């Protein structure tokens, strides 16, 4: 089981946080999650092709998408999804399809995307297991899911510890077990998963889907 203590639905909180989310998230990346974020971006750059259909699930304010488009990814192949209308409003400058929807019930067909990312969102939903099932469902055969998340790993020092406490205090997320996430993904048919090394209370996973369509 991925869920530890119950987490209330945080969408309303993210609606309110949207105007200052980037500032808060930059602080998190600077002091705790930067290595995991860099690992995720590196995976996307390595896996994406000019024809890759790409979903950023839990896109937030769209910074990942902006960076990828600036580096040459075609916006015609990109879809952004977030449960918060206020977050999606911050993506207005990104000329791609934007869908308000939940990770636990993705409004896409099975195997709809070559590459799916979910960065700093899986830990914010009340049912991360169901969200993980959905994220893997929409990955096509031969495609991949890249996750970056707040992980229940040892803090490196005072800054990591303070970032952990701030997240728990706000009630906008939790710290997931990397090993439990990997074990869960490995139970899904045709998925292989590996962790990308990073330090601190954050982690990145790559889940690739092999096999043939039946």
- The whole model's pTM is what? 0.89
Range of the domain at 170: 11-103+110-209
State the pLDDT at residue 2.
Answer: 56
Question: For the chain, what percent of residues have pLDDT higher than 70?
Answer: 86
Q: How confident is the model at residue 162 (pLDDT cuts 50, 70, 90)?
A: low
> Is residue 4 assigned to a domain?
no
> Is residue 3 assigned to a domain?
no
Q: Is residue 130 classed exposed, middle or buried when 0-12, 13-18 and 19+ CB atoms within 10 A define those classes?
A: middle
State the pLDDT at residue 160.
Answer: 55
> Is residue 184 assigned to a domain?
yes
Q: Say how many domains are in the chain.
A: 1
Give the torsion through C-alpha atoms of 56, 62, 68, 71, to 10 deg.
170
Per residue in 35-48, pLDDT tens? 999 999 999 999 99
The Cα 106–Cα 38 span in angstroms is: 26
> Is residue 1 assigned to a domain?
no
Residue 159 pLDDT exceeds 60: no
């Amino acid at each position: 089981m991925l869920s530890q203590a119950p987490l209330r639905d945080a969408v309303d909180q993210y609606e309110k946080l949207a105007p200052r989310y980037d500032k808060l998230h930059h602080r998190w990346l600077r002091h705790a999650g930067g290595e995991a974020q860099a690992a995720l971006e590196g995976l996307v750059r390595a896996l994406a092709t000019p024809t890759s259909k790409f979903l950023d699930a839990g896109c937030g304010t769209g910074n990942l998408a902006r960076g990828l488009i600036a580096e040459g990814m075609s916006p015609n192949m990109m879809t952004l999804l977030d449960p918060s209308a206020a977050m999606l409003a911050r993506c207005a400058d990104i000329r791609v399809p934007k869908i308000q929807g939940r990770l636990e019930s993705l409004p896409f067909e099975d195997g709809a995307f070559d590459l799916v990312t979910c960065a700093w969102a899986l830990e914010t939903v009340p049912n991360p297991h169901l969200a993980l099932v959905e994220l893997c469902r929409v990955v096509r055969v031969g495609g991949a899911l890249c996750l970056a998340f707040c992980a229940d790993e040892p803090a490196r020092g005072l800054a990591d510890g303070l970032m952990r406490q701030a997240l728990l205090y706000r009630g906008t997320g939790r710290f997931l077990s990397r090993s439990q996430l990997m074990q869960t993904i490995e139970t899904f048919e045709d998925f292989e998963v590996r962790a990308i090394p990073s330090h601190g209370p954050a982690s990145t996973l790559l889940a690739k889907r092999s096999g043939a369509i039946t």
